[in-house]
């Protein structure tokens, strides 16, 4: 004989099953063996998970703190000779646009500076001015003589020696071009003089022939 509370529970389950349509019962009801056990059905109903709404995840922002600033790179100090070389290059660039009067004053000042102090920079500056036609008649021989002590120095190539060597090579090349031009001019002048000599000889010979023919004709008429 079934106890009274269990009989009431079983009767309630059977009445609920009669009210629900067949498809819904097939989808939602437990198997027949579980229906006979109300405790198992209640446990299955409790184990169904509830819908959970996911919480929004905030965006993660990575903030990078700046590291220590790199120390500035120390520039090597400029030597006195390098400063003199930079000044010479600036003067050479200025000489290109100076007038003839300015260059003549610069030449006089460079001569006076070299007479006071015979430094390498003063030698190079005066040699520069001696090669500029606007400052006066170029004196390549003196310019080369001023640069030869610097070019002939042995050891490490200094900035002043590099400038002197470059200027020396340019003067030598210009002197070679001038000599070649003078040689060609002299050769052309010799050819011209030879042609003129031949022309004078032909004119003299023609005048002699013309004078001899006139004299012979005049003697025949006198007979």
Would residue 169 count as lying in a domain? yes
Neighbours of 160 (CB within 10 A): 20
E strand spans, the chain: none
Is residue 170 one of the residues assigned to a domain? Answer: yes
Tell me, yes or no, whether 109 lies in a domain: yes
**What is the extent of the structural domain holding 176?**
81-188
Residue 131 lies in a domain: yes
Tokens coding 100: 């003839």
Give 22's pLDDT tier (boundaries 50, 70, 90).
Answer: very low
Count of the separate structural domains present in the chain: 1
Confidence of residue 52 (pLDDT cuts 50, 70, 90): low
Kind plus residue range of the DSSP H or E element containing 83: helix 80-97
219 within domain boundaries: no
Q: Is residue 209 assigned to a domain?
A: no
| Higher-scoring residue by pLDDT: 46, 192 | 192
* CA 26 to centroid of chain Cα atoms: 85
Residue 96 lies in a domain: yes
In a domain, 139, yes or no: yes
DSSP state letters, 169-205: HHHHHHHHHHHHHHHHHHHHHHHHHHHHHHHHHHHHH
Q: How far is CA 37 from the centre of its chain?
A: 93
pTM above 0.85, yes or no: no
The whole-number pLDDT of residue 208 equals 87
Checking if the pLDDT of 55 tops 90, the result is: no
């Amino acid at each position: 004989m079934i106890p009274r509370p269990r009989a009431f529970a079983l009767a309630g389950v059977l009445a609920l099953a009669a009210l629900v349509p067949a498809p819904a019962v097939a989808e939602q009801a437990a198997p027949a063996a579980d229906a006979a056990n109300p405790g198992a059905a209640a446990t299955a109903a409790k184990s169904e998970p509830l819908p959970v709404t996911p919480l929004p995840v905030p965006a993660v922002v990575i903030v990078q703190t700046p590291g220590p600033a790199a120390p500035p790179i120390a520039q090597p100090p400029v030597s006195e000779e390098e400063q003199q070389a930079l000044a010479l290059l600036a003067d050479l660039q200025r000489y290109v646009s100076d007038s003839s009067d300015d260059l003549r004053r610069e030449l006089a000042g460079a001569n006076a500076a070299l007479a006071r102090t015979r430094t390498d920079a003063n030698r190079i500056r005066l040699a520069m001015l001696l090669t500029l036609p606007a400052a006066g008649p170029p004196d390549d021989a003196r310019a080369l003589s001023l640069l030869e002590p610097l070019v002939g120095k042995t050891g490490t190539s200094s900035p002043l020696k590099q400038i002197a060597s470059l200027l020396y090579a340019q003067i030598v090349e210009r002197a070679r071009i001038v000599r070649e031009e003078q040689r060609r001019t002299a050769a052309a002048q010799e050819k011209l003089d030879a042609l003129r000599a031949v022309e004078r000889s032909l004119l003299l010979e023609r005048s002699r022939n013309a004078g001899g023919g006139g004299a012979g004709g005049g003697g025949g008429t006198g007979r």
